[in-house]
Amino acid sequence: MSDLKVNSIAGVLLASVLGVMGVGTAADAVFHPHWPEKAGFMPEIAEAGGGPSGPAQEGPPDFGRLFADPVQYAELVARGERGVGVCKSCHTFQAGGADGIGPNLHDVFGRRAATHPGFSFSQAMHEHTVVWSYDTLNEYLRSPSQVVRGTRMAFAGIRNTNDRVAVLAYLRSIAPSPPALPAPLPEAAPAAAAPAGAAAGAAASPAPATPATPAPH
Ligand code: HEC
């Protein structure tokens, strides 16, 4: 009898702890995305650039290679589709979707910045006259407020390169006329000769990083 009571108290406590955690992760997901570091299905994406002298300078990911393989591309698109969950408090992604706090992003890949009809962009975004494409989206989504100073997009950015590349793959996959894939970067050629970079990935990270945290629902 007293066992039963203890159990139900424990149950209530557990439920409230879970409730608190649920709220916490939802808020974190919007403002401080903290996604699993481990890709699971692919080796970490190596950043190009960073000469032998001097500190590693982060270069752009090799989109021409990453998106060329149809299987890998499909996996990235699927991962990106989950990844944009954190954008959905402000953006819609389907064709003809309504603007929210931010503009609809269905055709953003290939569209010039601040040209979505009917949305009132910040002055800063109007002055950012780029076409949203591989490198421009990659830079912006890494750190929106650093790339477009004064942007109204209140979002910290996606620091994890794999997650960011996956979001780009998804945005490209839904766009009606995305720009053509760039040519693969020449610097990446020697690595590509090795079988899919799997060996390099294993050697570079002897222990897997933090265990994957469950994705926010
Ligand atoms: C808190 C709300 C919010 C979140 C979360 C958010 N955005 Fe935005 N986003 C905005 C706003 C507002 C703008 C317009 C910015 C301006 O005018 O300066 C914008 C603009 C953009 C633009 C430029 C659109 C254009 O037509 O020029 C892109 C691309 C974009 N967001 C992508 C994303 C992606 C991808 C995510 C999720 C990873 C995301 N945003 C998360 C609010 C948000």
> How does pLDDT run across 110-160, given as a tens digit for each residue?
999 999 999 999 999 999 999 999 999 999 999 999 999 999 999 999 999
| 103 close to ligand 1 (CB < 6 Angstrom) | yes
CA-angle at 37, arms to 134 and 18, nearest 5°: 120
The Cα–Cα gap between 98 and 208 comes to 41
Query: Ligand 1, residues 155, 159, 171, 172: which to mutate, most atoms within 8 A of Cβ?
Result: 155
**Phi and psi (nearest 5°) for 211?**
-60, 145
One-letter amino acid for residue 149 of the chain: R
For the chain, list the domains and their CATH numbers.
Answer: 61-185 (1.10.760.10)
The Cα–Cα gap between 50 and 42 comes to 22
The Cα–Cα gap between 105 and 94 comes to 8
What is the pTM assigned to this prediction?
0.70
Q: Partners of 131 in the beta sheet?
A: 112
Residue 22 has pLDDT above 90, yes or no: no
Cβ contact 60:134 at 8 Å: yes
| Pair of tokens at residue 170 | 């998804």
| 134 close to ligand 1 (CB < 6 Angstrom) | no
80's enclosing H/E stretch is helix 70-83
Residue nearest to atom 18 of ligand 1 (CA): 151
Percent of the chain with pLDDT over 90: 57
Length in residues, the chain:
217
